[in-house]
Amino acid sequence: MTTSVPTHQPSSELGLDVRPMAGHVGAEIFGVDLTAALSPEVVSEIRSTLCRWKVVFFRDQPLTQAQHIGFGRYFGQVTPAHPMIPPAFPEHPEILLLDNQGASNLGGALIESRWHTDVTFVLNPPMASILRGVVVPPYGGDTQFTNLAVAYERLSEPIRDMIDGLHAVHHNQLPIARGELTPGYASLFQSKDLRTVHPVVRVHPETGERVLFVNPNFTSHICELSRRESGHVLAMLYEHLMSPEFTVRFRWEPDSLAFWDNRATAHLVPTDIPAGFQRSMQRITIAGDTPVGVDGSPSYSLAGEAFA
């Protein structure tokens, strides 16, 4: 006799239908209209689903820019678009435009696409990001996410013991091919010196999970190690966090939203957008707290202020 396995969680009493997409990360949420006002109970359930699955996705949500920002405000303070990049929409300075055919692409493929957590070079990296698909190519352009809590959990105990007490510098440098960036954009992104020391393992403020908190884009080096040792340890951690078993891949459609817990995930910008097709996305971020390590010590800034 064959036992059937449910493909998704049953609809809640609130009408939400949560459908996990992978074993450790990612769930689609159906049964909610984000263009309408949300009850505190629905907001609470979305938040708990986010904490459980680390990134949640919504389909067929034709939000205006104001509604996009309004949805974010249910979960915290919506920040300015970016610490360095000026907003493309003066009437909505909270929105960051990410468009492969405009200046906002920072030179497109000339910047190496690496796994990263958003804005970790500031003292209080965003709690979450919400990305909205505005113009989506017919194929290609998927975004991948990895669960950094499960990545930490799956390290061997000796490695976990070693990294629990380490700290790393994060800074606002980009992996740019020399001399090949759109003129002026490198100097714009790096116009401020933003550097922060974060714990290599942070404690998630809502779930209590230990989270691997380094990323190939913005982590410079581990403070307690020599640069050579740091390079080897970070390379091992980066290879580990990229393991397919910790990841999910999201195929975009117009009016889709991805809402990720920036405290416990990293994501990868796509590089397979077909030539001649536009991919235009709009992102907001929600203000975060100062990360705290396993020993209870908080992050501290070397250069720059908190992001809010």
Q: Please, which pLDDT band fits residue 5 given cuts at 50, 70 and 90?
A: very low
Q: Is 255 helix (H, G, I), strand (E, B) or coil?
A: coil
Identify the pLDDT of residue 278: 95
pLDDT, tens digit (0-9, with 9 covering 90-100), for 50-78: 999 999 999 999 999 999 999 999 999 99
Least confident of 19-28, 189-198, 237-246, 285-294: 189-198
Judge whether 7 lies within some domain: no
Q: Please, which pLDDT band fits residue 104 given cuts at 50, 70 and 90?
A: very low
Judge whether 1 lies within some domain: no
Across 222-233, average pLDDT: 98
d(CA 233, CA 163): 9
Q: Is the pLDDT of residue 185 over 80?
A: no
Instruction: Please state the φ and ψ torsions of residue 25, each to the nearest 5 degrees.
Output: -155, 140
Give me the chain's average pLDDT, please: 91
Burial 236-275 (b: 16+ CB within 10 A, else e): ebbebbbeeebbbebebeebbbbbbbbbbbbbbbbeebee
Q: Is the pLDDT of residue 112 over 90?
A: no
Judge whether 39 lies within some domain: yes
| Catalytically annotated residue among 68, 210, 267, 279 | 267
Identify the pLDDT of residue 105: 45
Give the residue from 261, 202, 214, 255 showing the smallest Cα distance to 238: 214
Q: Find the domain containing 256 and state its range.
A: 17-303
Judge whether 187 lies within some domain: yes
- Sorted by sequence, the CB contacts under 8 Å of residue 215 that are 6+ apart come out as 114, 115, 116, 117, 120, 238, 241, 266
On whether the CB atoms of residues 285 and 78 are closer than 8 A, the answer is yes
On whether the CB atoms of residues 293 and 199 are closer than 8 A, the answer is yes
| Catalytically annotated residue among 116, 160, 240, 249 | 116
pTM: 0.92
Q: Which residue intervals of the chain are DSSP H helices?
A: 40-53, 65-73, 148-153, 157-163, 185-189, 227-241
d(CA 292, CA 288): 12
A 10 A CB-CB count for 139 gives: 11
Identify the pLDDT of residue 111: 58
Identify the pLDDT of residue 4: 39
Judge whether 138 lies within some domain: yes
Give me the percent of the chain exceeding a pLDDT of 90: 81
Q: How many structural domains are present in the chain?
A: 1
| Catalytically annotated residue among 118, 132, 170, 204 | 118
What single-letter DSSP state applies at residue 293? B
Asked if 59 is an active-site residue, the reply is no
d(CA 305, CA 227): 26
Asked if 295 is an active-site residue, the reply is no
Which residue would you say has higher pLDDT here, 106 or 243? Answer: 243
| Catalytically annotated residue among 47, 198, 263, 283 | 283
- Token pair in block for residue 16: 């939400």
DSSP code per residue over 189-230: HTSS--EEEEESEEEPTTT--EEE---TTTEEEETTS-HHHH
Judge whether 133 lies within some domain: yes
Judge whether 5 lies within some domain: no
Judge whether 131 lies within some domain: yes
CATH number, domain at 278? 3.60.130.10
Asked if 170 is an active-site residue, the reply is no
Give the residue from 62, 64, 30 showing the smallest Cα distance to 46: 30
Which residue would you say has higher pLDDT here, 197 or 181? Answer: 197
Asked if 267 is an active-site residue, the reply is yes
